[in-house]
Amino acid sequence: MQYDFLVVGAGVSGAAVAHELVRHGSVLLLEAEATPGYHATGRSAALFTPHQGTPLVQAINRASAEFFATPPSGFSAQPLLSPRGGLTIAEPGQEHCLSALLALSAPGRDVNEISVEAALALVPLLRPERVGAAVHEPGVADIDVAALHQGFLRSVKRHGGTLACGQRICGLSHNEGLWTARTSDSSFQARIIINAAGAWADHVAALAGARPIGLVPKRRTAIIVDAPPDFDPRPMPAVDFTASDAYFKPDGGRIMASLGDQEAVDAQDIQADEWEIAVLADWLQRETRVTIQKINHSWAGLRSFVVDENPVIGFDDELPNFFWLAGQGGYGIMMAPALGQAAAALALHHDMPIELTSQGLVTADLQKIRPALERHGEVLR
């Protein structure tokens, strides 16, 4: 069968664009793993943090907010977001580091400076001597990643799209207006290839003969540990620190923590590093009154970046009908609704939806050929 769109990768980004495209043509979602969302989508911290990332990422997050708040009818049986709140801590002597975050405050996206006493009341786990100042963001929320991802996948199926798992592409060729994607035991044809392969996006591009975007997968390690026996963490906000990218947050009745590490690695089924786990456990015990008796669970995920840390969305400048949807960094879950809409519009040669342009999204800022990538030699003309 020939398809209008073949989406490589059935993680949340691929599923989101397939959800948008399936009303405009036949769609095949092709997934290398046995189940969709096995890599980055299934290993997310699952937070909606609209003030994180580059200015462009923040604009995309704002554009996604309405979808999260009011998804299409029948999309999910439960809310996609639930209130969490975020607390950012500056250590003594680093209080000035909060000014940039405070400057982002806007109606409906409040960022409020609070007293040290109020911060300690919100998160009694913190060590008082480690808190110099604090900022609270009521708009930070937990994302139900499974509900979001499955909502996109159900929509694709409901509108006649096809999902094929366990189909790792080993070859791509273009002839007479059609792409042929070859796997170990099958081949599929489509007019347009959507490269939503996450950390493997440059690998997929190489199979097609496209020049890379310089995508760098970076490992991030996380652990889950028990909370102190006298403390229920569930009402607690997520907590991060100006001195680093480290954070911790409730995970049911336990504590999830990460140093926000970003070690460049090859694209792979990444595993947690024992040394990184030990360093993370030590950090959590120094910053809080958590005493770790055991690590209940540890894992690692890949966050994939290009040099300017903005996503790459649009048709390749040299190959016919080869479309990029890559480089979401650590914000792919948050950005998925808006990026799905943006990618579908561009793939259909439509104008960017006004809901996105009103938040500052400009097509030229998303494309593969853009000054930031060219200046750093990530794309060779």
3-state secondary structure of 277: helix
**Looking at the structure, do residues 222 and 342 belong to the same domain, yes or no?**
no
Last residue of one domain, picked from the residues 284, 305, 326:
305
Instruction: Domain of residue 18: give its range.
Output: 2-65+145-213+311-375
**Looking at the structure, do residues 299 and 194 belong to the same domain, yes or no?**
no
Are 340 and 174 within 8 A, CB to CB? Answer: no
Last residue of one domain, picked from the residues 256, 284, 305:
305
Last residue of one domain, picked from the residues 266, 284, 305:
305
**Looking at the structure, do residues 183 and 285 belong to the same domain, yes or no?**
no
Q: What is the pLDDT of residues 258-280, one digit of tens each?
A: 998 888 889 888 888 899 999 99
**Looking at the structure, do residues 287 and 319 belong to the same domain, yes or no?**
no
The model's pTM: 0.93
What is the CATH number for 209? 3.50.50.60
Measured distance CA(1)–CA(325) in Å, rounded: 24
**Looking at the structure, do residues 354 and 232 belong to the same domain, yes or no?**
no
Asked whether the predicted pLDDT for residue 199 surpasses 50, the reply is yes
Average pLDDT over residues 21-47: 82
249 backbone φψ class: left, alpha, beta (φ>0; ψ -120 to 50): beta
Are 33 and 325 within 8 A, CB to CB? Answer: no
Q: Where does the pLDDT of residue 80 fall: very low under 50, low under 70, confident under 90, or very high at 90 and above?
A: very high
**Looking at the structure, do residues 134 and 222 belong to the same domain, yes or no?**
yes
Q: What pLDDT shows up at residue 380?
A: 42
**Looking at the structure, do residues 275 and 175 belong to the same domain, yes or no?**
no
Asked whether the predicted pLDDT for residue 379 surpasses 60, the reply is no
**Looking at the structure, do residues 350 and 223 belong to the same domain, yes or no?**
no
The answer to whether position 79 is within a domain reads no
**Looking at the structure, do residues 328 and 368 belong to the same domain, yes or no?**
yes
Q: Where does the pLDDT of residue 39 fall: very low under 50, low under 70, confident under 90, or very high at 90 and above?
A: low
Asked whether the predicted pLDDT for residue 42 surpasses 70, the reply is no
The answer to whether position 73 is within a domain reads no
User: What is the count of structural domains for the chain?
Assistant: 2
What is the CATH number for 247? 3.30.9.10
Q: Where does the pLDDT of residue 352 fall: very low under 50, low under 70, confident under 90, or very high at 90 and above?
A: very high
Asked whether the predicted pLDDT for residue 190 surpasses 80, the reply is yes
**Looking at the structure, do residues 224 and 324 belong to the same domain, yes or no?**
no
Copy the structure tokens of residue 208: 């097609």
**Looking at the structure, do residues 222 and 275 belong to the same domain, yes or no?**
yes
Q: What pLDDT shows up at residue 302?
A: 87
Least confident of 83-87, 348-352, 359-363: 359-363
Q: Where does the pLDDT of residue 20 fall: very low under 50, low under 70, confident under 90, or very high at 90 and above?
A: very high
